[in-house]
Chain A
Amino acid sequence: MEMEILHSVYGDKKRRIDTATEAGRQEAAVLLNRLMAQGAAVILQRGKKAYKVKGYDPVSDLLTVQVGPTKQVTTSGRRSKTTVVAPSAGG
């Protein structure tokens, strides 16, 4: 899984986590849960389409993404880029 943390000031903040291993899957789960608890928006991109990540299951190595107002599906994050946007303030 490739995770891009949006903050160009800090330089190239990309993280590659190898979810083929058990340790990698656990690391991805901890990191994603932490980021979402911190109010960050985790966004999975496929071409021009983008989906909001709602969760990650380290057992099946699948991401749950929101595809409609009430519809969620699971998908593999291995071939997609995931971008993390920090908690935002409207002003």
Chain B
Amino acid sequence: MTTRETETPDVETMMATLGYSKQARQRVREEVALSEALREAIQACASRMQAGEALSWEELRQRLTEVAEAHGYPMGIPMPDMDLAEQFISANLTPLGAVMQHNQQQLHTEMAGQAEKQGLRVRNSWTRLGDEEVVVVEEASSGQSASMRVPMAGVRLRKLLDTAMVRTKLMNLTAEAELRAMDALKEKISAQQWKSYVLNGMFPESSKRSGVFYFFRKGFPTLAASFSDRYPRGHILAALCLHPFGYYAGTFCGSMTPTDEVIAHLLLMRADEHGFWKKSGQWSATDGRSGL
């Protein structure tokens, strides 16, 4: 009680100093109320467990969902797993996004991002023939630059293994949820597409608007390809990576089950193709993030 009384004026003063708009202030107030309710719910669950009661993940998730819905977030709230080393990157406007990392500036190559995390100043980075990435970094003390060549085969394998590990570790990504998502997808695609999805883990669909062919893949970015006279066998325009709520850095794993993400890609492509491209990370086929 005392904490709430002392904290609230601080938040209000801070918002007034920073010149928050009326709408932004309301949003912060709602998120503060939500975080307090979540803390109370988690503490109540912890007390029950300390008292010797067995509490399943399903029950905890249900409790948190109730809190989210009571505070006007019918989509739920992404709760990052504290045991994971991979950082959770949340979408803009996600509730409690400020305590997680918002979508950051996309560097030219993935290795450049990792070099920056290690405190190195990146001057440039690119991919080159021979399946390599080159990152030029600057030494802080001397100002001299050095280049690093990273073979991508190992990086891709590491990414695949990290993705598999994160998905398996995450308590909320259950096999039942994935099967439910597959049932939902089945209603939205043709019988032929469904067969392809079950047998190959991917299905194609073309956009009448743009003529672009999309290959929606389970657990990987969607491939956008163009078939024309110039490229009769197809040419990959980009691998489009998009995760509802957010994703775990350095992996292909999002906070939803893989097929839920496929549904999100499919519906956004059908309803708002331009918006789908705009929001997605657009990787070239040679980039490790394309999942090729």
Contacts and interface: CB of A to CB of B under 8 A. Distances in A.
Interface string B46-72: 000000000000000100010000001
B241 A8 contact: no
A6 B263 contact: yes
B235 interface: no
Nearest to B73: A38
Contacts of B75: 5, 7, 35, 38, 40, 84, 86
A50 B180 CA distance: 21
Interface in A28-82: 31, 34-35, 38-41, 43-45, 48-52, 66, 69
A8 B173 CA distance: 9
Interface range on chain B: under 10, 10 to 19, 20 to 34, or 35 or more?
35 or more
A50 B92 contact: no
A6 B139 CA distance: 47
Given A9-B61, A89-B103, A91-B89, A45 B188 contact: yes
A90 B72 contact: no
B246 A89 contact: yes
A39 B103 contact: no
20 contacts: A6-B263, A7-B260, A8-B259, A9-B177, A35-B74, A35-B75, A39-B93, A39-B94, A40-B75, A41-B275, A45-B188, A45-B270, A48-B190, A52-B271, A83-B267, A84-B74, A86-B91, A87-B94, A89-B92, A90-B243
A87 B244 contact: yes
A29 to B, nearest CB: 14
A49 B282 CA distance: 24
Contact of A45 (B103, B256, B267): B267
A39 B271 contact: no
Interface in B275-292: 275, 279-282, 289
Contacts, number: 143
A50 B267 contact: yes
A88 interface: yes
B59 to A, nearest CB: 13
Interface range on chain A: under 10, 10 to 19, 20 to 34, or 35 or more?
35 or more
B41 interface: no
A49 B178 CA distance: 24
A84 B267 CA distance: 10
Given A85-B268, A91-B243, A7 B256 contact: yes
Nearest to B269: A50
Nearest to A90: B281
A49 to B, nearest CB: 7
Nearest to A41: B268
Given A9-B76, A87-B245, A91-B246, 12 more contacts: A10-B76, A13-B74, A39-B94, A50-B270, A69-B274, A85-B264, A85-B267, A86-B245, A88-B245, A88-B268, A89-B90, A90-B106
A89 to B, nearest CB: 4
A39 B264 CA distance: 14
Interface string B231-249: 0000000001111111101
